[in-house]
Structure 1
Amino acid sequence: MRLLDPVARRYARALFGAAEEREGLETVADGLDAVAGWLRTEAQARWLLAAPMVPIAEKQALVVRLFGAHVHPLICDLLELLLEKRRYGLLEDVREAFRALLDERQGLRRVRVTSAVALPEDLAGRLRSALAARTGKRVILEPRLDPRLIGGLRVQIEDEVIEHSVQKTLENLR
């Protein structure tokens, strides 16, 4: 839901086309999520892949050793290409852009819903239905907790924010 790098979007479109040809869209999306998630937790691997003093060939070999047996070959190809072009830092944006393309293909819309406390399931269901009617797509709620809101909701649909929080109301009164 943040602005993604245009170069990352191009990589994502190319990866999407290749995955579509091989009928592996879901597999590639899940693999990208897994790789990006693992790299977020492994500081040493992240450092090695980003370090300019480590030769690219060594980084590429590391990618194959780490992920080759566990993810779709297209993901290893992407990682090797990003390393070769010194664009490894785009991986998270490529992952998000790929997921957005897949969601669009499947008629899904991810909506970030921020609240001060966890939403009760009945309220989440009503919100999901209302947002589906508004967007014309099936909605996946991505709940976030932010106690600073005090109460109410902040709903983000792509770049549109619908703010109905106590925090915002109080700010507007100032």
Structure 2
Amino acid sequence: MNYVSHNASEFTYFFCDQLSCAEVDLQSLKKMAALGLGLQVRQFSTSVLRQALIRPPIDVYGVGGRYATALFSAASKQKKLEQVEKEMGTLSALIKDPKLSSIVMNPHVKRSLKLKFFGDAMTKANLSPITVNLVSVLADNGRLTLTADVVGAFAKMMSAHRGEVICTVTTAHPLDEANLAELKVALNGFLAKGETLILETKSDASILGGMIVSIGDKYVDMSTKTKIHKLTKIIRDS
């Protein structure tokens, strides 16, 4: 049985169910069953625990990325990727609600109370068991504050699933139409067949000039600010 330990007394098992391969300890399973949130507690065989995880087209690192990967796998197996993607939008709106957020994000509020309020909100929103179970696991592991990270990571995975390549370009000043068109032509040259460029441009006067390009898993800093820093370091070290 595969597991990792966060501390000497807590063992976190990876399980494959409606929310595949997400973190949950045995005590968490019992609590979630008591809350009646649809996660069936049962003995998982070694073969089930090692059930193949359907990997997303891109890896998103961090704890949020790990939960999003589990969510992507679970939704893929149930052929509900698009439905869950829409529900992530609803979930994002819920955590931005001032009243709900003041409870869910408050470290002094008990987890059981947070989950009750969140559960009531999800019931009203008619969210699927996959999404409900995601929130259940996050709540029981004290990670509801990472909900936005999970939603963001899942959005990136779905974008890649559709063949979209997100590119962010930061310049000191807004690009005019001619330069923007030229930039798009250059960036499209990096795409594989069937991929679509999703370009986002930002302005940041602090970079002084040049540009910073983030495309897929690549990051290139060609800003004047960075060039000056490198030149200054060379002069100081010489």
**What secondary structure is seen at the aligned counterpart in 2 of 1:134?**
coil
Q: Which residue of 2 aligns with 1:85?
A: 141
Matched, 1:133 2:197: no
CA contact (8 A) 1:113 1:156 kept: yes
CA distance in 1, matches of 2:94, 2:225: 35
Q: In the superposition, relative to structure 1, how do residues 70 and 122 fare at CA in structure 2: closer, same or farther (>3 Å)?
A: farther
Q: Which residue of 2 aligns with 1:57?
A: 112
| Cα-Cα RMSD | 2.8
Bigger shift: residues 8-17 or 122-131: 122-131
TM-score (norm 2): 0.59
Q: Which residue of 2 aligns with 1:19?
A: 75
CA contact (8 A) 2:172 2:208 kept: yes
Q: Which runs of 4+ in 1 moved over 4 A?
A: none
Matched, 1:99 2:168: no
Bigger Cα Rg: 2
Which protein has greater RCO, CA pairs closer than 8 Å, 6+ apart? 1
CA contact (8 A) 1:28 1:71 kept: no
Q: Which structure dedicates a bigger proportion of its chain to helix? A: 1
Query: Unaligned stretches of 5+ in structure 1?
Result: none
- Work out the percentage of aligned pairs sharing the same amino acid: 25
Task: Find the partner of 1:151 among 209, 212, 233.
Answer: 209
Deviation at 1:155, TM superposition (A): 0.3
Query: Unaligned stretches of 5+ in structure 2?
Result: 1-59, 233-238
Task: Give the count of matched residue pairs.
Answer: 170
CA distance in 2, matches of 1:142, 1:81: 33
TM-score (norm 1): 0.77
